[in-house]
Amino acid sequence: MNRAALIQSVIGLGPSWEARPGWFEQHPAALNRPPETLVAIDIEPEASLAPPRQDAVTSPQPDVPLVPPPGVDIAPPVLPPLPQVQASPLLEWDALERAVRDCRDCRLCQTRTQTVFGRGNKQARWLLIGEAPGEQEDKQGQPFVGRAGQLLDNMLSATGLDRDRDVYIANVLKCRPPGNRNPSGDEIATCQNYLIQQIRHIQPTLILALGRFAAQTLLQTEKGIGQLRGKLHSYQDIPLIVSYHPAYLLRNQPDKHKAWQDLIFAKKTFGRLSAD
Ligand code: URA
């Protein structure tokens, strides 16, 4: 008899009631109770598994706070797994351009007019990554020169960024998929080494991934833009922000304000990273 039961029997109270094993769990009230509501915590599992890093991305300085634009949820920076790409020897920039120009590694070489390597300042601190050349880009050999490109240029200049001086713009695919269809997984896999080499050369302060193909390729995730935007990610230790693709914005004008929020977030993040 335990101490509480002894005291109870001494003062004349009946035997203390003790639940049989499993009584609570098997009680009808417990069985009918809806499952406990889980509070969603917006941290990707990899983030908690990754070792803490001491770099600027993972250690925002408290005295220079990141101020999220209204309605933008900023979760702690996430550290997605790095793309499983064998580190191939880094080609010189010119050799890389030639390799892209002469590439015949996938079916897209049969339908392209020409490859589209990238444009802008390769010393730029901002790297913008789109999806793939469209019709105009395929004709002119330059990324983002069609309607989506005009919108992108307008958004950049509204942010105070000059498209030739302040940014470099590249795509995940260097060749146009026929009829502007979505890139396929094998085309992305075949082409991604070119993009990775471009990133290694440029070493930008900030990557802006435009659209889900750029975001999913660099972050190796299947999450959609809605889940990825508004957060500071990183690709190979380079801070990365996700936003909508300008072509999507042309079709979905109401989402333009969200893209604008993303640009403000990116600008503030860039300012803080440059001050570090
Ligand atoms: N869309 C893209 O993703 N890239 C371009 O270069 C043009 C349109």
Per-position DSSP letters for 11-43, written without gaps between them: TT--PPP-PPTTHHHHSHHHHHSPPPPPPP---
Residues framing ligand 1 (Cβ under 6 A): 130-134, 137, 143-144, 146, 148-149, 171, 247
pLDDT recorded at residue 1: 55
CA distance 66 to 60: 8
- CA 59 to ligand 1 center in whole angstroms: 33
- CA 142 to ligand 1 center in whole angstroms: 9
CA distance 50 to 227: 20
**What Cα–Cα distance (Å) separates residue 232 from each residue in 38, 104, 171, 268?**
24, 35, 20, 11
Tokens, residue 13:
């109270």
220: buried, middle or exposed (CB in 10 Å: 19+, 13-18, 0-12)?
middle
Specify the residue with its C-alpha closest to ligand 1, atom 3. Answer: 131
pLDDT recorded at residue 88: 83
Residue in this structure with the two tokens 């004709």, named with its chain if needed: 139
Strands 238-243 and 206-210: parallel
Of ligand 1's atoms, which has the minimum distance to the CA of residue 213? 3
CA distance 215 to 192: 13
Instruction: Tell me phi and psi for residue 209, to 5 degrees.
Output: -90, 120
Is 3.40.470.10 the CATH classification of the domain at 91-276?
A: yes
Q: Which amino acid is at 118?
A: G
CB 266 within 8 A of CB 208: yes
Written as tens digits, the pLDDT of the chain (276 aa) is 544 444 344 333 444 434 444 433 443 444 443 333 222 222 222 222 233 333 333 323 322 334 444 444 444 344 333 444 556 899 999 999 999 999 999 999 999 999 999 999 999 999 999 999 999 999 999 999 999 999 999 999 999 999 999 999 999 999 999 999 999 999 999 999 999 999 999 999 999 999 999 999 999 999 999 999 999 999 999 999 999 999 999 999 999 999 999 999 999 999 999 997
